[in-house]
Structure 1
Amino acid sequence: MIKKRFIELKKLETTMRVLKEPTEESSWLSLSFPGSSPFPSNLSIKKTSAPLEIAKTLSLGRSTFPPLVSPGSKKRPSSSKVPVSSPFKKQKTSETTAQESRKSEAGWRGAANMMGLTHHEFFLVKKITKSDVEPNQHRLQLTRSDVNNAAQPPKDFAVEAYKSEREISVNVLDIKGNKYRMKFKYLTSSKTYRFMGRDYSKFLASSELKAKQRMEIWRLRGDGGERSAEIWLSFVNSDEEEEDH
């Protein structure tokens, strides 16, 4: 009995030494024990490849797997790029076009139409002088020749200012659609018409009006309503400069 137990212990010692120092030909956890197994019969050891062989296998097959991306990373795999012909591209282009359309309608015409001032009548073209853009002057000046050569009927308020010699309240939209409140008056001393008021200085800053620029003045009308009793104009300055004659 003692001899039998001694032989089993020797086998166990040999087995543990082989497990601790496996040879190159042996596979990890795939050794066969000499003789009867010293381990309980209910203990099963799953055969598998050595870690080195697993690493080699994964290394060989790396190129066939898609690159992994962490959840927080913004970089997307090259295979997930949207092709040029994708409908998402068309949708983006459509949205950009719609934004540009809304942007163009956000100017003085769009603002006037939203207020019900849908009739835009050309009044005159004004050549901007240095005194017109002087912040301390607070005024835009028109000569009698400017008004006399203006289109009818938009100059009706100018005729009223000339006959009454009093200030007339006017509302002005700049090229961006911003609103201003000004006074329009005829001065007998200089025989000129002037748009005046503190809001004119605000208009200069917003419109970036410059000397020698070409500015169009439009009369805005609606189809009745409360705004029909008010005078609405639009000052539309252009980057195009008037040439000196």
Structure 2
Amino acid sequence: MSTMTASDRGSEGRTASQSDEAVVELSNVEFGYTASPVVEDISLRIDPGEYVAVVGPNGSGKSTLMKLMLGLLRPDEGTATLFGEPSHVFDDGARIGYVAQHASASKEMPITVREVVRMGRFPHVGFGRLSAEDDRIVDDALETVGMTAFANRRVTKLSGGQRQRAFIARALASEADLLVLDEPTVGVDAESVDAFYDLLESLNESGITILLIEHDLSAVTEHADRVVCLNREIYFDGPTEEFVESDALARAFGTAATFLGGN
């Protein structure tokens, strides 16, 4: 399996100010769908190249937080920026790759893996035709995620893990700087899960910022560099090793359980 370098992904054209700016920054953010806040007093910053996992119990506001980060929701209070711009007006979608839980929509799409990955080039070419260079980038993305042999297979014929790899390849083909994954291994077999996280580590080492929302605490503590533990407010934000030693999990989940890393 090969790994794309930052220059392979087109980052050589980034300015110094772009590389130094925060990828995501939230300041005193509060949001609620009704009068009651779903998240409140959230302040955090994600810098380029970080590998951050967001954990918390069901209904803790993890998905809402992600939507605020990506500009899909606008804070009721506070500010949210994405690559230095207000998140709700940020429009350079090519810089963001999103992999949803199950990637369920793909199950009904009668298209091949290569066609899925080629979609990642559309923000760069608009209504124009893909060039030979675009096709080379698509091929490189397929190779990076180990899906070259499946390029002409329909996504409806893939396993859950293979399908998620195809959507990561689409993000790579778009030359995304930020990869956002929302519980991407739900329904994926254990062997594929291990290979999936090895792939994420490799991509992070190549310079891609990773934001992972995950229910599997063992995977988080084994792979992520930083953990944000959330239950409406932030209970912990820091290095994974410190999270494992803290009582944040018990406080956020409202339990004395200390299941981490298989313990």
Compute the TM-score of the two structures, normalised by the length of structure 2.
0.20
More helix by share: 2
The structure with the largest alpha-carbon Rg is 1
Give the alignment's TM-score, normalised by structure 1: 0.21
Higher relative contact order (CA 8 A, sep 6+): 2
